[in-house]
Structure 1
Amino acid sequence: MSTDLPGLPAASIEKWLQATLPDLLDGGPWHAELISGGLSNITYRLHLPHATVILRRPPLGQVLPSAHDMKREYRIQTALAGTGVPVPRTLALCTDPDVLGCPFYVMAEVPGQVMRTADDTAGLTPETRSALAAGLVRTLADLHGVDPSSAGLADFGRPQGYCARQIVRWGEQWQRSHTRELPDMGVLLNRLSDHVPTHSEASIVHGDYRLDNTIVDMTESPRIAGVLDWELSTLGDPLADLGMTLTYWHDHGDTDRELIPVAVGVTTQRGFPTSPEVAEEYAALTGRDLSLLPFYLAFSSMKLAVIFEGVHARYLRGQTVSEGYEGAGAAVPILVAKALRELRALARA
C-alpha cells in the first residue's frame, strides 16, 4: 500500500480501486506521487501493478462555489475523446464523499512531457519551438471548431451572454476569496462590464488554455498529445480562450510576466512566436475578427488575478500542497494593472 499524501489517504483509495478498477490493482503493491496542487485541482500519479494512472481532486480546504467541478471535467474529457481533440482517456468518476470527502476521477496517463519551466524548452531547437507553438494554436482552433451538439455537450453551458455573466461570477469569487483591499479590482470589473462585446461567437472553451496545460509528444516532430485541466471548461466565447493563452504567453523582455508564477520563461527563447504572432496564427486558422482582442486580454487578466488571489488565500491558510505559489499574491495587482492598460488601449482604438 502507498503512504498517505496530502488529500489522498492510501487506505481509502486502495479500497475504491479494488472495487472500481480491480484489473489495474489486482492486490499488488502500489504507490502514489504528487504531480501538482497549487493553482488548480490536485493531481497525483498512481503507480499500480498493471498501469500508471492519474487522479484529480479539488484543492484542500474550502473551495469557491461552482469551482473545481470534477463531474464537469470528467464529462467534457469523455465527450471530446472521439472528436480529434487530444484528451486523456477517462477511466472512472467517484462522487461518494466517504472515499476522499470530495468528488474525484481517474484517467489514463498520456506519454509525453509537460513544458512547465524554461529549462524544459531551453534544449529545443528554434524550429522545434516554432512547431510546438503552431501545434498549440492549431489544437485550440480545433477545439473551437468542435460542434457541441455533435459531442453531446449542447447543454454544457450558456454561450449567450457568456462574458457578461463571467464578469459577475468572477467578481463574486473575488468578494469571497480576497485577502486584502484592492480598489482597482472594482474599477476593472466596472470597466469590463462597460466594454462587453455586443456580438460574439460560441464554442466549447477550455478556460485555462496554455502550453503547460498540455502534454507534448516529442518522439518525432512535437505534437500536442493531450490537453489537461478542463475544470473551467464550458460553452462560451472562443476569444476568451485565446485571451487567456496570450495572457500566459511570456514574450522576451516582458518583466511583468516574470512575476506571474506559472510557466515563467517557457516561451521566451528564440523560435517561439511573440504573443501578437500567436494571435495572428489563430486568426488565420479560424477567420475570427480580433479587433476587440484588448477586451479579451483584460478579461483574462482579471480572471487570472482572481484565481491567484484564491491561491494566495489557500497559501496563507497552509492549504497549498506544492511549492512555487508563495508569489501568487504579488501577481494580483500586476494583473489588474495590466488589464486596465488593455482597456485604455481599447478605448483609444
Structure 2
Amino acid sequence: MDIPTYADVEAAHARIALHIHRTPILTSSFINDLTGAELFFKCENFQKAGAFKARGASNAVFGLDEKMAKVGVATHSSGNHALSLSYAAGKRGIPVTVVMPRTAPEPKKAAVRGYGGHIVECEPSTSSREAVFAEVVAETGAEFVHPYNDPRVIAGQGTCSKEMVEDLGELDAVVAPIGGGGMVSGCCLTLSTIAPKTKIYAAEPKNADDAYRSFKAGRIIADDAPQTVADGLKVPLKELTWHFVSKHVEDIFTATEEEIVAAMRLIWERMKIVMEPSSAVPLAAILKNKELFAGKRVGVIVTGGNVDLGKLPWAQS
C-alpha cells in the first residue's frame, strides 16, 4: 500500500487552497448543555460541492500530470464523492465519469450533471457498483479516483482536521462519521501527528455497522447493500482506510435510524444549518454516550449538506 504521510497532508492543503473553503466551526450552547460537553462543529456542509469530499477530490485532480488529466477521471460513488470529483474536474476542465446507484438522491445526481459529470447508473450494491465501474474504466481509460481507498484522497481529507487544530488547538476528542473511512483516516493521519493526545472516535449507523464489526473482529467485514437513512455511510472499509482505523481509532459507536434522524433534526432546529443524515451520526453517538464525552472539548465533523429537501426523514409518512 502507498500510505500517505502528514507531509502529504501539508502538500494537499497548499495544492487545494484556491479550490476549497476553509469551513467555519460553529457551537451551540443548547447542545453543549444537552450533552455536558463543549462541542465544536466543523461545518463541511458549507464546503465546495456541499461536502468534505471536495478536499480529497481536488487534491487528486490537481495533482494529475497534464497527460493523465487529458484522459480524465472516473469514480463510483453514492453521491458526495461523485459531485466533488465532478466539481474538481470541472474546475480543471477535464472529463469525468461517475458510476452512481440508481437510488442515489436526485439532488446529488443533478449536482454531478451540473458540474459537467457524466453518470452511468448501477444497482445499489457494492458488487454492482464495482462491476459497472470496471466496464467504464475499460472503455474510457480514465484515472480512477477511489472515493476513500486512495492516498491522494485521504491526504486531502486530512486537511479538515488540520484546520480544526489550527483554529482550536488540541482537543480532547474528535468524532466523525464512518462508512468507507476516508474522513476518519484523514483525521487519524493528521491528529496522530500534530495532536497525538486527541482521541479519535468514529460513528456509524447500526443498520450499516460493518466498520463497527470490523473494529471488534480485528479484520475487515464488508456488507454488500445495507439499508440506512445515512446514504453516505453504506460502503465498507478497504485496505488503506483499515490501516488507519485499526491503528488509531479509539472506538466506533453505532446509532439507530431513529437516533440519527432525531440528531439531524436537533441540529437543523437549534443550529439552523442544513446537513444530511450521515452528518448527524456523530451527534447521535455523543448523545448516546454522554458520560464518555462529558466535560471534554470535542470536535464534531459535519461531513455534508447535500440532502433532498423534498424527502426530509421526519416528513415521511
Give the TM-score, by structure 2 length.
Answer: 0.28
Q: Which structure has more helix as a fraction of its residues? A: 2
- What is the TM-score when the length of structure 1 is the normalising length? 0.27
Which of structures 1 and 2 has the larger relative contact order (alpha carbons within 8 angstroms, sep 6+)? 2
